Amino acid sequence: VPKQSQAKVTALSRLNSKGKAGMQTPSPLSWCILGIICREGMPVYSVFDDEGKDVTPHPLFRSDPNTVLPRQGKLLASSAYFGATGSGFLSSFSMHQTSGVNGTLGSFSRTYGSSSTSLSNASTTESVLDEIVEPEQKRSRLLTSYNFSDVQVRQEEIKEWTNEDLDRRVDIYLTETETIWILDMPSVVVSVESEDAGRVLERNRIYVDICKNRPGNDRFVEKMMQTINGAAKNKEVQCDKIIMEDKGMLVTSWDLYDSFNVSEIEPTSKYYHVKTVFFPYYLLSGSTTSSLMISESAVLARIHEEEECHSEAILTSENFQQNLFFMERILMENIFQPKLAAYRQFPVLIGLFLIGCPAAVKEAKQEEHDKEKDKEEQKDAFVDPSILLERLWSYICDLTSGHNVSTMAWSKVNPDLLAVGYGAFDCKEQKKGLVCCWSLKNPMWPERIFQCEHGVTALDFSMASPNLLAVGMYDGSVTIYNVRSCNDAALLDSSESSNKHTGPVWQMRWVEQDRGATGDGKKERLICISADGRITEWFIQKRLDCIDLMKIKRTESEKKKLPGEKERKREALISQQAAGMCFDFHPKDTNFYLAGTEEGHIHKCSCSCNEQFLETYRGHKGPVYKVAWNPFSTDMFLSCSADWSIILWHQDSQTPILTFSSTTAFVHDVMWSPKSACIFAAVNESRAEIWDLSASILNPVTSCFANPRVKFTSVLFAKNTDCLLVGDSKGEVSVFELQNLAAPNNNKVRFTRTRWWSSEACMLVWYFIPPKGASVKDLANRY
Amino acid sequence: MTLIAEVEETLKRIQAHRGVVATMVVNAEGIPIRTTLDNSTTVQYAGLLHQLTMKARSTVRDIDPQNDLTFLRIRSKKHEIMVAPVLKTANPF
């Protein structure tokens, strides 16, 4: 048929009914197919009967050619509006009223395409629903084809809806139509008491009589009749296959929850959206697919375009990055669990957590076995339980290997976050520096990596704004980073400052000071000391700028004038200022601080006076690399220097109290233990040493040797646990656990004023309550 | 570094760890996008783990719909399998 439909066929055929019976038959139903008008490839028939009247069977349904084929979604949306009619819709169904539809049925019309269905009779409701739910596109095409330009259909212009129209007040009139009689079957039962009762009874009686008289009565004759049976015709009709689909659902409570809270769920991927919000349909299509909510139409329309970008989109999505982050952390936990547990001083679990790496299991088991052996041995032989250094792990990665660890600092709020600065000490080895923030949770890759132009020589975390990290570099510039962002860019830097340092910034600290006088409460200042001899305070305003707190003037050592010598002229000095190497603020009174210089002098200065030093401590013969006040006995401080020695001072005495030296190497760093008053750690190039003053003042209680090609350069105690971090010249920060550490001893270091032995030259220095500084110095010089 | 390069690098780092046998990235329908295993094993793992993850997530959310599965670890005699699923509810971090 479709082939034929292309051509206009005018074929006439006449079908006569076969034969006539004696009966009066109604006018023969003879149909002529007058013409086949083709439209859209589907043959459309008009049928005319003998008299030329058009008796084309009209469908009961007419679709509006102006409306677009609906999407599935709107089908049900339309059923939502079922029954609700506005005046606009009232007019729409009137326009679809065709003359073919007989008025006795009332205005029975459906607008399939528009978004409302209006019916005047509730009884046809079910049939409407049935037809709407069948999503047969082909069928709808079939139906629309009937709606050719039928003159009988009055088409109104569909006007555009404007906002005003939508907001307009619409009056809805509900009226009742006349009662429509579809079926009227009068009853055959009459009440005895009605008026007709007598007549009815009479008629009934007459009828009974007739029935009684009928048999054998001449008035009633039986006669047979034959009616003509019309020829039966079989007609087969084939309809389109009705596609049935079975769908099963497991309704879960989270599914229901999701359906109601769709708007709150973040779209996990930009490409899959929840299109339909409508409840029953959504449940059906929602959760049988996997984790994403796809609406069918979206899938059909979009799946081609976006297949290529899927994997990239997934890989760069935030969710995936989060998952990667977690995965890495958990892997680290698996690998490092025994070490981390030791760090935290938890009992180590063997056999439960190390399934992932059998090698590690063996290792751990071996260690455990060895430890047990050692313990047994220890029990046998009475060994003094001394402090042991046990290496746990190292913070090292590809990026940092090869760099020299110059400085380390803990974050003030998160005791597991460590910032390490990498930069060479010598000017010959200068290369680009690096700052890495390491977290305990991932010892194999730093959390933040900041590349710096020059070698990093000092850094410190702020207390007031814990996300700020101040970094000082070899060229004297100071930069402030915000560790919250992963961005490499500095928050602020000192390049625009006119007053910046001209030499490497060897130390910087954020110092909290009570501004009792001004009533401001604690205020934090950033203080730096640098090789150009200035101690500066930096202000963070729009730009980073600084003022000088102190200039370190060169002090000459007082030479004793030997009798007979003439006074020599003072030597011309290259610079009036001595390079500053380190400083430390007093733990109790933040007005005072110590500054160590390259000449070997340590000056005690005050913030309130920037002209003169309060005191000068002379003892070192080389640059002082570090000074540190004892956090418990706040009158004592330590200093370490390139002259191979560490000196313990008392702030009232200008000569050393004790000198510690154990090797012939520069002592790069020294730090008091935060828990114990007598313990400090020192690092010289080949060893990391722990000294316990209550145990021995001659030798360190324990030390750890560096690998031959590597030098140790910095040391840091962990605050929340008994561990020591040692940085070396190859970029590795090793974490050591201090075992058998005695209970924290907060007793102040009491040095009775008696004799002291100095380990180096076995010098006996008598320390009296000094009447005058000179006499003690004499003694010292003499010996 | 571009985002995708960073992500690739992190993936490489994870794979390079001692003790990690294989890494796999699977999309939401259970189709593997990235893998370090051979094809047949990948497909097998992806299918099985996907179903298990869905079931686990369904369990967690059935009890409390506002909850969601954040991580799944399966420890067996020989290995440990770790699955980080896509979050459906809002990310609390």
**Lowest pLDDT segment from A258-267, A327-336, A763-772, B31-40:** A763-772
Specify the pLDDT at position A156: 55
Angle value at C-alpha A257, between A275 and A81, nearest 5 degrees: 50
Specify the pLDDT at position B72: 92
Chain A contact for B33 (CB, 8 A cutoff) = yes
Q: Are B19 and A324 in contact (CB < 8 Å)?
A: no
Sheet of strand A592-597, all strands in order from the earlier edge strand to the far edge: A580-585, A592-597, A601-606, A615-618
pLDDT tens-place string over residues A559-585: 444 444 444 444 555 667 788 888 888
Specify the pLDDT at position A125: 41
Chain B contact for A265 (CB, 8 A cutoff) = yes
Q: Chain A: nearest CA to B24, how far in angstroms?
A: 11
Q: Using an 8 Å Cβ cutoff, are B86 and A319 in contact?
A: yes
Look at the block and give the residue holding tokens 């686990």. B56
Kindly tell me if the per-residue pLDDT of B40 is higher than 50.
yes
Q: Are B57 and A291 in contact (CB < 8 Å)?
A: yes
| Residue with more model confidence, A745 or A459 | A459
The arithmetic mean of pLDDT across residues A171-191, rounded, is 87
Specify the pLDDT at position A603: 87
Q: Using an 8 Å Cβ cutoff, are A673 and A653 in contact?
A: no
Q: What percent of chain A has pLDDT over 90?
A: 3
Kindly tell me if the per-residue pLDDT of A24 is higher than 50.
no
The arithmetic mean of pLDDT across residues A632-642, rounded, is 87
pLDDT tens-place string over residues A727-767: 988 888 888 888 877 665 555 555 544 334 333 333 333 33
Looking at the partner chain, which of B13, B18, B58 has a beta carbon nearest the beta carbon of A357?
B18
Helix (H) or strand (E) holding B63: helix B39-63
Specify the pLDDT at position B39: 92
Q: Are A331 and B90 in contact (CB < 8 Å)?
A: no
Chain A contact for B38 (CB, 8 A cutoff) = no
> pTM here?
0.59
Rg of chain B, C-alpha, whole Å: 15
Distance CA A471, CA A479 (A): 5
The arithmetic mean of pLDDT across residues A288-301, rounded, is 35
**Lowest pLDDT segment from A166-170, A200-204, A379-383:** A379-383
Q: How confident is the model at residue B63 (pLDDT cuts 50, 70, 90)?
A: very high
Specify the pLDDT at position A157: 57
Q: How confident is the model at residue A84 (pLDDT cuts 50, 70, 90)?
A: very low
Instruction: Estimate the crossing angle of helix B3-16 against helix A318-343, to 10 degrees.
Output: 40
Chain A contact for B66 (CB, 8 A cutoff) = yes
Look at the block and give the residue holding tokens 């760099």. A403
- Give chain A's mean pLDDT: 69
Specify the pLDDT at position A144: 44
Q: Using an 8 Å Cβ cutoff, are B20 and B14 in contact?
A: yes
Looking at the partner chain, which of A256, A268, A330 has a beta carbon nearest the beta carbon of B88?
A268
Residue (of A456, A580, A462, A582) closest to A511 by Cα position: A462
Kindly tell me if the per-residue pLDDT of A230 is higher than 90.
no
Chain B contact for A238 (CB, 8 A cutoff) = no
CA distances from A530 to A506, A527, B75 (A): 5, 10, 55
Other C-beta atoms closer than 10 Å to the C-beta of A482 total: 15
Best-predicted range by mean pLDDT (A34-48, A206-220, A359-373):
A206-220
Mention every residue, 6+ apart, whose C-beta is less than 8 A from residue A453.
Answer: A432, A433, A473, A475, A477
Distance CA A540, CA A528 (A): 14
Kindly tell me if the per-residue pLDDT of A452 is higher than 50.
yes
Look at the block and give the residue holding tokens 């599965």. B69
Q: Which of residues 339-368 of A touch B (CB under 8 A)?
A: 355-357, 359-360
Chain B contact for A252 (CB, 8 A cutoff) = yes
Determine whether A380 is exposed, middle or buried from the number of CB atoms within 10 Å of its CB (0-12, 13-18, 19+): exposed
Q: How confident is the model at residue A662 (pLDDT cuts 50, 70, 90)?
A: confident
**Lowest pLDDT segment from A636-650, A661-675, A733-747:** A733-747
Q: Are A320 and B58 in contact (CB < 8 Å)?
A: no
| ipTM higher than the 0.85 cut | no
Distance CA A432, CA A453 (A): 5
Helix (H) or strand (E) holding A370: helix A358-380
Q: How confident is the model at residue A587 (pLDDT cuts 50, 70, 90)?
A: confident
Angle value at C-alpha A410, between A491 and A441, nearest 5 degrees: 95
| Residue with more model confidence, A695 or A760 | A695
Q: How confident is the model at residue A499 (pLDDT cuts 50, 70, 90)?
A: confident
Q: What percent of chain A has pLDDT over 70?
A: 61
